[in-house]
Amino acid sequence: MSEYLYLKIPASTANLGVGFDSIGMAIDKYLNLYVQEIEDEEWKFEYLNSELESLPKNEENYIYKVAQQVASKYNVHLPNLKVEMRSEIPLARGLGSSASALVGALYIANYFGNIQLSKHELLQLATEIEGHPDNVAPTIYGGLLAGYYNPETKETNVAHIDVPNVDIILTIPSYELKTEDSRRALPHTFSHKKAVQNSAISNTMICALIQHNYELAGKMMEQDGFHEPFRQHLIPEFEQVKSLAKEYNAYAAVISGAGPTILTLSRKEKSGKLVRAFRTQIPSCTSELATINETGVVEEVVYPS
Ligand code: HSE
């Protein structure tokens, strides 16, 4: 049996309130891919957990499409592959599952096409496909990042920020919210005055995070005007999560990415009690303590013994 490529790709939470499309943090929940060259006539996809069964197993599969797109960009031919997937990242819940799949596809093309893409190039490609770096950048690098994709030059620049020394809680509703539907709720235009206000909130939030002033960072996160006011009606549990979070003195509760998951930044001494309160009082959602991933994608070539 030939070697296989093992990829452990973290989930991510984007926006952190007012960092819409630019700020994101990697989360210790993983898409695991086991990829091996096969003799078959076509690629094979095998899903190791039932939540993935809704995904296509043919050439419509997103990983297949992106891997081939990258291979053709670099003029290389990929062998036929068997891709086994096991994922802890719930689909269409605002935890970056498709960004993780996209990053996985890039690593697959890079390895099996022997393209020799650097991490910087992987980020450029990922952002060009995704349109914004807030999920793909933390997925590739780990940690907390702010970034900007310039659609004219197609260049992405990112900056790391120390990961916050807080506990995080994910409250994951049982229903899906497709990113395209959640983006459709956003306004097409935004006044200059509002843009100035919200960039001031965002700048203050980032400076507060850099100073580890979570009180102030949380206060700014919760004043987002870029996306939450337009999306919160899509997530009926949001208000209840926010009010319980307040009751337990959490720093902030914000929509994770495009939703419907809600991210709470909690004081360490209160997080256990708060997550149990979420579980008891909002039983329709799964609430859990999560940790911040600081390593990004792990890539390993495994030789069977
Ligand atoms: N920043 C994006 C959004 C994340 O909120 O729509 C999901 O792609």
91 annotated binding-site participant = yes
Query: Secondary structure of the chain: what % helix, strand, coil (to 5)?
Result: 35, 30, 35
Instruction: Give the residue-averaged pLDDT of 229-234.
Output: 98
Separation of alpha carbons 47 and 42, rounded Å: 16
Q: Name the pLDDT band for 1 (thresholds 50, 70, 90).
A: low
pLDDT of residue 156: 98
pLDDT single digits (tens) 37-47: 999 999 999 99
pLDDT single digits (tens) 89-103: 999 999 999 999 999
Work out the percent of the chain whose per-residue pLDDT is above 70.
100
pLDDT single digits (tens) 53-69: 999 999 999 999 999 99
- Above 80 in pLDDT, residue 130? yes
The Å distance, Cα 303 to ligand 1 centre, comes to: 38
Separation of alpha carbons 268 and 17, rounded Å: 20
For residues 293 and 26, the answer to whether their CB atoms sit within 8 Å is yes
Separation of alpha carbons 274 and 129, rounded Å: 38
Instruction: Give the residue-averaged pLDDT of 203-207.
Output: 98
Pocket test for ligand 1, best of 102, 136, 179, 198 (most atoms within 8 A of CB): 179
pLDDT of residue 224: 97
The Å distance, Cα 15 to ligand 1 centre, comes to: 7
Q: Name the pLDDT band for 253 (thresholds 50, 70, 90).
A: very high
Ligand 1 neighbourhood includes 178 CB (under 6 angstroms)? no
Separation of alpha carbons 94 and 180, rounded Å: 11
For residues 82 and 38, the answer to whether their CB atoms sit within 8 Å is yes
pLDDT single digits (tens) 280-300: 999 999 999 999 999 999 999
Ligand 1 neighbourhood includes 179 CB (under 6 angstroms)? yes
90 annotated binding-site participant = yes
Between vectors from CA 227 to CA 178 and to CA 181, what angle results, nearest 5°?
A: 20
- Above 90 in pLDDT, residue 304? no
Instruction: Give the residue-averaged pLDDT of 29-37.
Output: 98
Task: Indicate if 167-289 has the same CATH topology as 4-162+293-302.
Answer: no
Separation of alpha carbons 21 and 134, rounded Å: 5
Please name the fold of domain 4-162+293-302.
Ribosomal Protein S5; domain 2 (3.30.230)
- Above 70 in pLDDT, residue 211? yes
Separation of alpha carbons 98 and 104, rounded Å: 10
The residue whose CA has the least distance to atom 3 of ligand 1 is: 258
Please name the fold of domain 167-289.
Alpha-Beta Plaits (3.30.70)
In DSSP terms, 14 is beta-bridged to 24
Any idea where the domains of the chain sit in the sequence? 4-162+293-302, 167-289
φ/ψ of 23, rounded to 5, equals: -110, 140
Q: Name the pLDDT band for 2 (thresholds 50, 70, 90).
A: confident
Whats the size of the chain, residue-wise? 305
- Identify which of 42, 115, 37 has the alpha carbon closest to the alpha carbon of residue 75: 115
Q: Name the pLDDT band for 240 (thresholds 50, 70, 90).
A: very high
The Å distance, Cα 22 to ligand 1 centre, comes to: 9
104 annotated binding-site participant = no
Separation of alpha carbons 26 and 92, rounded Å: 16
The Å distance, Cα 37 to ligand 1 centre, comes to: 34
Name the residue with tokens 């996985």: 104
The Å distance, Cα 66 to ligand 1 centre, comes to: 19
92 annotated binding-site participant = yes
22 annotated binding-site participant = no
Work out the percent of the chain whose per-residue pLDDT is above 90.
99
